[in-house]
Structure 1
Amino acid sequence: MAKLLPDPSLYPSPREAMKAPPEDVAYVASIYTGTGIEKPDFIAVVDVDPKSPTYGKIINRLEMPNVGDELHHFGWNACSSALCPYAKPHIERRYLIIPGLRSSRIYIVDTKQDPRNPKLEKIISPEEVTSRTGYSRLHTVHCGPDAIYISALGGQDSEGPGGILILDHYSFEVLGRWEVSRGSQYLAYDFWWHIAHDIMVTSEWTTPRYFENGVDLDALLAGKYGNKIHFWDLAKRRHVEDVELSKDDRMVLELRPYHNPTELKGFVNTVVNTKDLSSAIWLWFLEDGKWQVRKVI
């Protein structure tokens, strides 16, 4: 009798995942943006098996059907968040969710039949994304316990607010905005969570007006680039608090929680300090019931 068991590639913590056998192929976004070449971006399939004669080489490529997507971050349809008590534990990790940063289009790619020869399964148009969410310029993908989450850096035009949209785990239908109450949050970039505590953390860059053509130095000095991280009630989808890192440290980007999922701590980077041009890494943590940050590097 067949048993309903979780996907064996899902692990209860990053520490456990690091003990797993290594992958033998990697998928790499390859883009033509800024090259002057009018060709579709593609996903390169790279052999990462050290025992293979084609180790380190591109062994296949999946071309997108459109020009100008600017593929960027992408992720799986399912991951270890499916092991949460209120999640969908029998969902299968097989699809890559690949958004276009510039086009706001989403590609769904199936890797199950032959991981070395992935197939395009579905395309979600930018018109559908924008009409259902009000968002554009899609960036980070995370597989949540209840849906697929994608961050968006802009609103319907070159302004904000940016935020998070969600897709159905099975049909990939665009379900709408994630936020019920966004509070003070306007700028967006990355997001992660302390999932055992029902807490989401988001960072902030700027609006499309100030990044699509490169950094705008006047806007940077005018404070148009973000300097905060935001904390949310993940279950209620409501903004709880924002914490300013400093007045001068700007472009708050990649979020990385502790590998121990019970710890309410994590790291985030800032790109530039407007006084001395330095970059920095910050620790966020909860102490005495209050979210705090400290520059550590």
Structure 2
Amino acid sequence: MLHAVGSRGWGFFRVIALTGSAAAQSLLAHPLQAQSSEPPAQYGWREAYGGFDAARDQWLAYSGMTFALRSPDIYSNGWRLRLGGGYGRYGYDSVAPHANCGIAVLNDICGEDGRAPQHFEVAHSYAEALLGYYLQLGRLTAKAFAGASMSTERHLTRDPNGEDDGTQVGIKGALELWLTVDTHSWTSLDLSYSTARDESSARWRSGWRVSPAFSIGPELRYDKNIETGENAWNGRAGLFTRYEWTGGELSVAGGGIWRVDEWSAASASAYGNINVLFQY
């Protein structure tokens, strides 16, 4: 789902930018600056990411940064600050209510009356500022985050049935787990929930290392928010490839996406995703 950024939305982005600047000056002093006699770290203390996700009638562009707070590098145990956001659009079909509906329902004048559905497009944006902790437990890597999130939606064509336009600010939590099974395989699970628009998400991946730097495998994803409905959610099943190097990685994924309502799948579409990440 995607949103347009109103004045409140841009204000939230400005607050995040100022927060990141202040944090970089006061909290993110690189430990190696105080210990110049030590050799440089293999990885940096900042991590920047960005990507693009697309399916039928929807797309999203996103980016963000994660900072290691007084840790030698991004892979050392310690506190993290993550700032992120994105913008995109999605579309859907709906039949508008009868112009003279009134209170008469016996003759079904408020029904669809065989009218063709109208296509609506919605602009969506989001932003978040999260504080978290990175912990290495043997072969398991765990990252937990909590903080503030903002979600904005605006219909580009007014839908009389749409009541969810505007900006909502809420609390978000996220948990990211990575398990190195052995030298040739790994698995990951990312979970998140935000009270802004009641958004929840889960993604599972299982990777097999064709080489030390190149992995392939399946992925599954679950997404739900206030727009999907009470008993409905969006599901994905696909394949991904991941290439990593010292200080970065590139991931490309694709497959099928469905709207699942009462465990009945519909509105099938293909999806594609590309994500790049750098540590410095």
**Bucket of the pairwise TM-score, normalised by the shorter protein:** 0.3 to 0.5
Select the structure that is richer in strand.
Answer: 2
Normalised to the residue count of structure 1, the TM-score between the two structures is 0.32
Asked which structure has the greater RCO (Cα within 8 Å, sep 6+), the reply is 2
Normalised to the residue count of structure 2, the TM-score between the two structures is 0.34
